[in-house]
Structure 1
Amino acid sequence: MSILKKIVLVYVMVFSIFCFTGNIALAHLNKTILFVPHDNRPISFKQTADNIRDLGYEVLTPPEELLGNRTNPQGHPDELAEWVIDNAKKADSAVISADSMIYGSLVASRKHNLSVETAQQRAENFARIHEANPSLKLYVFASIMRTPQTSEASGSEDASYYAQYGTDIARYTALTDKKVQDGLNRSERKQMKMYEQNIPKEALEDWLGRRATNLEANKKLIDLTKKGDITYLALGCDDNAKYSQTNMERRELDDFAKSLGSSRYQSVAGIDEIGFVLLTRCVNNLQGDIPFVSVHYAKGTGANTIPAYSNEPIKDSIKTHVKMAGGLPVTSDKRANLVFMVNTNFDGTTGAANDLSNTYTPNENVLNFVQMVNTKVAEGKNVGIGDITFGNGSDNSLMITLYNQKLLDKINAYSGWNTPTNSTGYALAMGMCANYTDRVGILKMLEVRYLDDWLYQANIRQTVANKLNSMPGEGTYGDTKTRTVPAEELATKLLQEKIAQYDLATFDGQSYVKDTQVRFPWERMFEADFIFPQEEQINMESEQNPIEK
C-alpha cells in the first residue's frame, strides 16, 4: 500500500470516528426534560428553563395559565397534574415543584385552606407520574413554609392577619423553638406569655394549622421517595432563622427522611433557586458528569456568615447546594471544574441592595476579593461569583470593580439576586451548566443576571420607585396598577442607558441586549422581565423559515 493510500485510510478512519463520537454527543444532548416551576415569575420559569434549553436540551413546560401567578396563586393543580402525567412519557427526566402540584404555587402554599387529606391526595400524583413512565428520573422540590421575621417582610404574601400580627407570631414561635433547642430564661418565658396574650387565638391556630397540613404533605413526599416513585427530593426552607417554626419543622422532616441519605434527599436554606439547582443535577446526570467545586470567601466572617433569611452559615448552604446540583465539594482549585467565590461583608452582615449604603466606591474587602477573582481567571480557572453582601441585588462596588478590571465577560457565573442563599445556589448551578456550553452561551446567562441583579435591582428599581407618584394614574411599589406602563417605559430607558454605559452589548454575541425592554409581569416592582426584541425577531424568522435537514 502506498504512503498516500495509508494517509487517506487514516484520514477516513479518524473522520469516521469523529462523526461517530459526534453523533453520540449530539444524541446524548438530544434529551427531553419536563420542568414545572413553583410559579410563573420570570426567574422561576422562563429564565431558568431557557438556561437549560440553551445547553441543547428540549425543555417541556406546562401552559403558563396552569401555573400560579400573582392574581391567582392557587393556579390549577388538578389540570397541571393531568398535563404532567400526559407528557411524562415524552421526557427522559423531570424537575417538578410539589408546591405547584399540591397548592398551585409557592405563595399559595402559605395561604391555602386544604385539608391534610386533599394535600396528600395531590401529592400521590407523583406516584401516577412514575407509573406513566417508570424509567423517568423524577426530581421534586417543595418548600417548608416560611416564617417572615416581621409583618413588613411578609409583603402581603401570607395570610391577611400576618400584616398585623406577623412580627409577634415570628417572635412567639422563635421562643417556642428556642425552648426546644436550648431552653428559656425567666425573661423569655415572660415574653412568650405576652405574645400568647397579644396574638388572637384564631390567627395562631390558622397559621399553625396550615403549617401542619404542609408538614404532612412533605412527609407524604418523603414516603413516595422511600417507595421509589420520586428519584430525589429537595426541601427548601423559605425565609428562615436560627430559631423559628420553619427550622423546627426542618429538623422534624430531616429526621423523618433519615433513612434516605443525601443521595436521595436534602433540605437547604432557600427555595427560589432550587428549580435551577435540580435542573442542573438532571443535566449533570444526563451528561454522566460530577463537577468538582472549590469555594473561596471574602475576608472577614466569610464562610461563617449567617446571611439574612437563613438559619445557618453560608458555607453549609453552599456545600448542600453543590451536592444537590450533582457536584462534589473539593478543597483544591487544581482539581476543580468550578472555582466558586463568595462576596460577603467583612462583618458578616447582609444589607439591602436598594439602600444608600450600596455605593460604587469599593472598600478594601471588595478590592481584595476582586484581586482573588482576577488571579483565578488569569490562571485559566472557571470562576463563579455568589454576591451576598446585599440581599435583593448586586453589590455596586463589586460590579464596578469587575467592570474596571474587564472581568465581567471573563467569569463563568454570577448571581446577586433575591436572598443570599437564592444567589449562591443559582450562581453555583449556572457555573456547573457553563461546563456544557461555549463562551457565547455563558455570556448569554450572565447578561440576564447583570441586567436584573445589578442594573435593575440594585439601581433602577429604586429610581423608578421614587418617581412613581409623579406618574399619571394609580399605583404603588407593590401594586403598580395603571402606572405599570409608564414605570416600564422609564425602567427601559434607564436600563438601555446603563447597558451602553457599561458596554454590555459589546460582549461576544450579545449585541441583542442593547434594545432590552423591561416588563413588570406581576405588576409590582420587585420582579422584572427582560425582553430582547432582536432575539425574538431572529427566533420568529427561524420558525417561519426553518432550515431543511
Structure 2
Amino acid sequence: MVMALPMASARHKQNVVPRIIYVPHDNRPISNQQTAEVVQKLGYEVIVPPDKLLGNRQDLGHPDELWAWLKENARDADAAVVSSDSLIYGSLVGSRKHNYTKEQILARTENFKSFRKENPKLPLYVFGSIMRTPRSGAASGHEEPEYYRSYGADIFRYTVLKDKEEVEGLTRRETKEAAFLEELIPRKHMQDWLGRRDKNYSANQQLIKLTRGKLFNYLVLGRDDNAPYSRTHMESRHLDEEGKDLGKTEFQTMAGIDEMGMLLMSRAVNNLRKDVPFVYVRYNWGRGPATVPAYSDERISASVSSAITAGGGMPVTSPANADLVLTVNTNPNGKTYEANDRANDGRPREGTAYFADIVQEYVSKGYPVGIADIAYANGADNALMEELKKRGLLFKIKAYSGWNTPTNSSGFVIGAGMLTKYMKDADVDELLLTRYLDDWGYQANVRNIVARQLTWLRGDGFYGSLDAKREAVGLRSTRLMEQFVQENLPPFKSLEDINVTFPWNRMFESDIQRGERKDFRYFLNTAAEKTKKTAK
C-alpha cells in the first residue's frame, strides 16, 4: 500500500504531491526516464529538462541553457537531484570531450552559489564523475577523443604505472616501461587528455569546497569505468583526501557513475519522508563480498556499502526487519564475465542453484528481496533467470538489476529497491518488467544475436555506429524481443505492443517502448481460475 505523501512546503497544503527536479547526466533511457519512472511510481512529480538540452553521443549538451532551465523550474520544487557533469560540461560524454577553458568550467561551478542564494531551503543533491580510464580504444565506445582509439591501451597502461608508483613503487622493469610509454604516446594527445582531466579535477575540488560550505545536502563523485590501478583511482584517492573532514552523509567518492542519479533520487525521497531504510545484504557463496568486479577498483562489498549510504539507507545484520534484502549474484570464483560470453547460455553453473535457493528462502519468509545480478557485466545471468522463471520467482521479488557494469547494477537496484516498500504491487511488477526486458531480454540475448547478424543487413553501419542499418536493426530486435516475451514472461497487456529503437545509434543500449498494461495479478488470477474450471 502506498503511504501518505508528506507535505513538504506550503504549496502542498493544497496539493500533497511532492515535486523533484532531476537533471540527469545524459538522455540515455536508463539515465533519464527509467530513473525518473521509479520515483513517479510513488506518485511524485519528477521534472526533467527537455531532451534537446540533454547531451548524447553527438550533442555534448548545453550547460548554460540547463542552468537557466534549472533556475526557472526550481522555484516550486521540494528537492533537486542534479548532475554536475551536465551543468558544467553539458553531459557525461561532454566531460570527456569538451574544449571549455578552465575559467569557463570553474565559473559554471560557481553558479551553485547563486543558485543556493535563490533557493536557500531547497534540498540539493549533486552527483558528478571522476573521469574514467577505459582499458582500450575499443572499451571507450567512441566516447573519448578520437586518438584514444589508437593509443587508449597505452594511455591506460601508463596511468596504471603512475598510480602504482605513488602507492607502492615500481620495479626497475616497470620504470623502464613507463619511460617507453611516455615516448610512444604522442605528447599532444597526452597533454590534451591530462589537461581535460586537470580541469575535471579542479571542478571536483571546488564541488567539495561548496559541500563544506553547506551549499549541497549531499555530494557524490563516481569513479567511472576504472581499475584497481588507474588515473581514475589515483584522482579518487586525492579527492578523498580533499574531503576527509566531511562525513559520508555529506560527501563520498565511490565506484560507478550511471547509477548515481537513481541513488540520489532515492536519497531525496527518503529525506522527504524522514525515513532511513534498512538494507540487509547476502552474497552468493565463494568469493562473494571480496569480489572485485569488472570496471571497478574495489571489493563489491565496499561499493554496496557506499551505495546504501548514498541512497539514504542503513545496512543491518539481520533480514528480519530489513526494508530491502539485497541478494548479490556473484560467481564463486570472484570473476566477472561479459553477458555476450558464449558461456552465458542459460545452463546452470557453479553457484546458480545455491543462489536461487537463497532467493527462494527469503521470498518464502515474506522478505522484500532485491537481486543485484552481477555475475556477468552488461546483461543478465541467463542461468539465474531460467532458474527464477522455473521456480516462479520472477514477480515475487521486489527489485532486480543486471544492465551494465556490476556497480551500476548493484547501485541501481539498491536505490530503486529501497523505494518499493511505498509502491503498489502492480507498480513493482511494472518496474521489474522494465528491467527484465532490458537487462535479460535485450542485453543478454537479443543484442548478441543481432550483433552477429549485422553483416547480413544492407547499408553502412556497425555495432558502435548503426547508421544506415539502424532501422533494420530496430525491426529485427523488435521481432526477437517479441519472441523472448512469448517464451519467458507472463501475458502483460503492454507486451502486445513492443518497439525497440536505438537512440544513441549503437547497439550497446536500446530504448524498449511498450504500451499501457493491466495489473499482472489480473492475469495470474485469471489463469488460476481457468485452471480450477478445467480441473472441475
TM range (shorter): over 0.9
1:427-438 maps to which residues of 2 (within 5 A)?
427-438=413-424
> Match for 1:356 among 331, 334, 342?
342
Which position in structure 1 is the counterpart of 2:227? 241
Which position in structure 1 is the counterpart of 2:23? 36
Which of these two proteins has the greater Rg computed from alpha carbons? 1
Distance in structure 2 (CA, Å) of the matches to 1:80 and 1:485: 31
The answer to which structure, 1 or 2, has the higher relative contact order (CA under 8 A, 6+ apart) is 2
Matched positions, count = 512
Which position in structure 2 is the counterpart of 1:112? 98
> What do residues 274-319 of structure 1 show as CA deviations (whole Å, max 9, x unaligned)?
0011000001111111010010111111100000110000000000
Is contact 1:80-1:101 (8 Å) kept?
Answer: yes
SS of residue in 2 equivalent to 1:241:
coil
> Match for 2:394 among 408, 413, 423?
408
Amino acid at match of 1:515: D
Is contact 1:29-1:56 (8 Å) kept?
Answer: no
Amino acid at match of 1:433: L
Structure 2 segments unaligned to the other structure (5+ residues):
519-536
Distance in structure 1 (CA, Å) of the matches to 2:105 and 2:126: 16
1:51-70 maps to which residues of 2 (within 5 A)?
51-70=38-57
> What do residues 4-48 of structure 1 show as CA deviations (whole Å, max 9, x unaligned)?
xxxxxxxxxxxxxxxx97997997961100000000001100111
1:88-99 maps to which residues of 2 (within 5 A)?
88-99=74-85
Which position in structure 1 is the counterpart of 2:522? none
Which position in structure 1 is the counterpart of 2:507? 525
Which position in structure 1 is the counterpart of 2:495? 513
Percent identity at matched positions? 47
SS of residue in 2 equivalent to 1:504:
coil
Aligned-residue Cα RMSD (Å) equals: 1.7
1:430-509 maps to which residues of 2 (within 5 A)?
430-505=416-491
Give, in angstroms, the shift of residue 363 of structure 1. 2.0
Which position in structure 2 is the counterpart of 1:12? none
Amino acid at match of 2:500: V
Is contact 1:304-1:315 (8 Å) kept?
Answer: yes
Distance in structure 1 (CA, Å) of the matches to 2:101 and 2:16: 42
Give, in angstroms, the shift of residue 474 of structure 1. 2.0
Relative to the length of structure 1, the TM-score reads 0.91
> Match for 1:176 among 147, 162, 173?
162
> Match for 2:312 among 326, 331, 336?
326
Distance in structure 1 (CA, Å) of the matches to 2:489 and 2:339: 22
Relative to the length of structure 2, the TM-score reads 0.93
Which position in structure 1 is the counterpart of 2:412? 426
> What do residues 434-475 of structure 1 show as CA deviations (whole Å, max 9, x unaligned)?
111011111111111100000100000011111222222221
Shifted more, 475-484 versus 405-414: the winner is 475-484
SS of residue in 2 equivalent to 1:293:
strand
Which position in structure 2 is the counterpart of 1:139? 125
SS of residue in 1 equivalent to 2:120:
coil
Give, in angstroms, the shift of residue 112 of structure 1. 1.3
Change (3 A) 1:23 1:421: closer
Amino acid at match of 2:509: E
Structure with more helix by fraction: 1
Matched, 1:341 2:299: no
Amino acid at match of 2:36: A
SS of residue in 1 equivalent to 2:192:
helix
Distance in structure 2 (CA, Å) of the matches to 1:130 and 1:518: 41
Is contact 1:240-1:247 (8 Å) kept?
Answer: yes
> What do residues 189-229 of structure 1 show as CA deviations (whole Å, max 9, x unaligned)?
11111111111111111111110000000111111111122
Distance in structure 1 (CA, Å) of the matches to 2:180 and 2:4: 70
SS of residue in 2 equivalent to 1:333:
coil
1:123-134 maps to which residues of 2 (within 5 A)?
123-134=109-120
Shifted more, 282-291 versus 318-327: the winner is 282-291
Distance in structure 2 (CA, Å) of the matches to 1:21 and 1:415: 27
Distance in structure 2 (CA, Å) of the matches to 1:519 and 1:321: 31
> What do residues 158-183 of structure 1 show as CA deviations (whole Å, max 9, x unaligned)?
11111111111111111101010001
SS of residue in 2 equivalent to 1:306:
coil
Distance in structure 2 (CA, Å) of the matches to 1:503 and 1:133: 46
Change (3 A) 1:24 1:216: closer
1:223-372 maps to which residues of 2 (within 5 A)?
223-372=209-358
